[in-house]
Structure 1
Amino acid sequence: MTTDKKDIIRHKLLESQKEAKVVRKIVTIISLILVLLIIIVGGGGYLYIKSALNPIDPNSKIHTKVAIPIGSSVTSIGETLEDHGIIKNARVFKYYVKFKNEAGFMAGEYELSPSMDIPEIVSRLKTGKVLAQPAVKMTIPEGKQLKEIAAIMAKATKQKEADVFKQINDASFVKSLMTKYPNLLTNEILNTAVKYPLEGYLYPATYSFYKKNPTVEEMVDAMLEKTQSVLANYSEESKEKKLTVHRLLTMASLIEEEATKKADRKAISSVFYNRLKKGMPLQTDPTVLYAQGKHKQRVYYKDLEVNSPYNTYKHQGLPPGPIANAGKISIEAALEPENTNYYYFLAAPDGKIIFSKTLEEHNIEKAKHISNKK
């Protein structure tokens, strides 16, 4: 064999060895990456499952009635608990029950809380154990203003209405709540034009307390927690529409106050948004009454002269803040207005809402259905 042939063979062997080393390195790197991915995914899965087994909110004071029908499967129980905001993940609940070989869940109506972990919830469902009967129970209806809510709180706890109202408007109390709920209670509520900082932030619902004399702070905490919990479902939508919590609750409160049982809240919402886009004042009567601090069946022309930033006949745009609390339907309407060309609406005596595109149409409908309103 000639020297040239030997050199060629040696060169090829060296190249093959180099290629083999490169392949081994690549295989090693890929193997390491796969191992790391397995560790990360496994670790992440473990942390997620561990998190899902823990309470959603260990400090929550909310207690929700949850009905478990006879014959419910583990899957349906888990979905019910997740829908009520009691657990984080229905699937994790299902696998936990199967892994622990739990069985014998009892049908019934339970009062459960996001402060409970899954083992405690499972224990209650197996024993049929419900929470003790609440010592204090109060219902805050939709469309209530802060003064009215204070009256409900005072009656439920046998306190003086003036004392309750004074505390929920106390500057230091409000600031302490802002520290506690920074994403809910922002500096917008401290605007000097805002009548009452917590107006519109106390969610309409039924609240149960298991001590005889809950404090004002404990009651307000429960209501703010509920508001925060409800609004969390709409956080992405609010960001897309560039609506702060304060503006969202303000718009929702206007819809709530204008709505009747037969009203289409999304159409009402469309009127408000259409007017805002066109630079027209909202001209909604409930803001005038709120500015006056009155509840009246009729609004007269003289009422429209009230000097207040809440008077949407005199001032364009939204009022400085909410004028009442709003329920879920009105919040959703504020986020998802109907696509219309309406700029006017009025409520007929029978509760029907009549929408119009022009002032001329509106005045014709007004003459038909309403007399001497203003």
Structure 2
Amino acid sequence: MNTDSNHSQKDKNIGRKIFLSIVGILLVLGLCIFLVFHNYLKTSLKPLNSSDKSFKQIKIPMGASDKKIGSILQDNGIVKSGMVFDYYVNSHNLSKFGAGYYRLSPSMSLKKIADSLQKGGSAQPLEGSYGRVLVREGASVDQIALAVDKGSKYSAKDFINLMKDKNFIDYLVKKYPKLLKSVNRSKDVKYPLEGFLYPATYNASDNISLKSIVEQMVSKTNYELNPYYKKISENKLTVRKVLTIASIIEKEDFSYNDKRKIAGVLFNKIKMNMPLRASTSIFYILNKNHLKLTNKDLKVKSPYNLYKHTGFGPGPFNNPSIASIKATINPDYQDKMYLYYVANSSNGKVYYYEELNN
């Protein structure tokens, strides 16, 4: 009897050890799966390729579900995982994604992609089709000229010449006085209409004149800004000054809240009679987009050089989006007199300072 009892006890001990071993293996396996999934999720939330600044035309069909949209984005090399995109939009309660054509890039974060989809797409293809001119957010007049050359019967030179046509500009100023009464037409200005050409897709078929194409752009800007003219005046600003700050903010790839804070920093500098030190101004002068500015670049002689000169300068440096314009009209000054900001590329956060740290 004792022998049988001992055998039974040994069997129980062996069974318990086997059970605990299996549980331990399952726990370790579960932990490994969790860590792998967590890492996959973390990397999938980031841009697929932050160094790839190219854009693709993506068509989102009518009635496409979030899962279907994620699949389309993954198949077109815009996001790493369609499943993670679906998880992201659902976990953030994002909805109302519009059908249509979009220009998206692998360098865009999931947030920026989702924001673009919520704005709605174009009913017509944005690329590869004659008769449409696409003005991108943050595009300069020189860049718009290339779009006109590609999408219409008019050349880039035709467009640039029109941008310098005094009679045409005077006509627009009279027709859109609230928008253009502060436009700078002095000899120091590169293009008086820089900043006043709204980012959108425009009809450029053969029966439409170049002046009509440009007026579409100006009219759209006037429409978008109409609700804000009163507030711009109450803030003792002009449309030109607002668009100048907005054109600087446009090149900062940050959230709307950070854009408002950066606007606050820039206005603080204006109040303190300090140079804005905006690299955007140097890129505009040189008509290049260096990865890094040199000391020689910062000393370039131009009224647009906001490293050397105080104030707003002659005018905007590009044609900003409505988000950057709204951020400028509604600056966030925060709780201190911040005069500097530094972006951390590793975590995407922006830090604000009263004094410049060496």
TM-score by length of 2: 0.60
Tell me the alpha carbon deviations over residues 197-246 of structure 1, each in whole angstroms, 9 at most, x when there is no partner.
1100000112235x434221111111111000011011221121011111
Aligned to 2:341: 345
Moved more, 251-260 or 327-336: 251-260
Moved more, 183-192 or 215-224: 183-192
Shift of 1:163: 2.0
Q: Which residues in structure 2 correspond to 1:350-365 (within 5 Å)?
A: 350=346, 352-361=348-357, 363=358
Aligned to 1:171: 166
Q: Which residues in structure 2 correspond to 1:22-61 (within 5 Å)?
A: none
TM-score by length of 1: 0.57
Moved over 6 A (4+): 131-135
Q: Which residues in structure 2 correspond to 1:101-116 (within 5 Å)?
A: none
Closer/same/farther in 2, CA of residues 165 and 271 from structure 1, 3 Å limit:
same
Closer/same/farther in 2, CA of residues 182 and 206 from structure 1, 3 Å limit:
same
- Secondary structure, in 3 states, of the residue corresponding to 1:203? coil
- Secondary structure, in 3 states, of the residue corresponding to 1:162? helix
- Match of residue 332, structure 1, among 326, 331, 353: 326
* 1:191 is aligned to 2:186: yes
Contact preservation (8 Å) 1:199, 1:321: yes
Stretches of structure 1 that go unaligned for 5 or more consecutive residues are: 1-67, 70-107, 111-130, 364-374
Counterpart Cα distance in 2 of 1:351 and 1:141: 27
Contact preservation (8 Å) 1:262, 1:353: no
* 1:200 is aligned to 2:165: no
Tell me the alpha carbon deviations over residues 147-206 of structure 1, each in whole angstroms, 9 at most, x when there is no partner.
001111121104321222112222222222223222222254212322211100000112
Counterpart Cα distance in 1 of 2:144 and 2:330: 28
Tell me the alpha carbon deviations over residues 57-78 of structure 1, each in whole angstroms, 9 at most, x when there is no partner.
xxxxxxxxxxx99xxxxxxxxx
Tell me the alpha carbon deviations over residues 25-80 of structure 1, each in whole angstroms, 9 at most, x when there is no partner.
xxxxxxxxxxxxxxxxxxxxxxxxxxxxxxxxxxxxxxxxxxx99xxxxxxxxxxx
Tell me the alpha carbon deviations over residues 116-172 of structure 1, each in whole angstroms, 9 at most, x when there is no partner.
xxxxxxxxxxxxxxx999972232111110000111112110432122211222222
Aligned to 1:309: 303
Aligned to 1:151: 146
Contact preservation (8 Å) 1:200, 1:323: yes
* 1:318 is aligned to 2:312: yes
Shift of 1:301: 1.3
Counterpart Cα distance in 1 of 2:250 and 2:213: 23
- Match of residue 258, structure 1, among 234, 252, 266: 252
- Higher Cα Rg: structure 1 or 2? 1
Aligned to 2:80: none
- Secondary structure, in 3 states, of the residue corresponding to 1:183? helix
Stretches of structure 2 that go unaligned for 5 or more consecutive residues are: 1-61, 64-97, 101-122
- Secondary structure, in 3 states, of the residue corresponding to 2:161? helix
Q: What is the letter of the counterpart of residue 195 of structure 1?
A: K
**Count of aligned positions:** 237
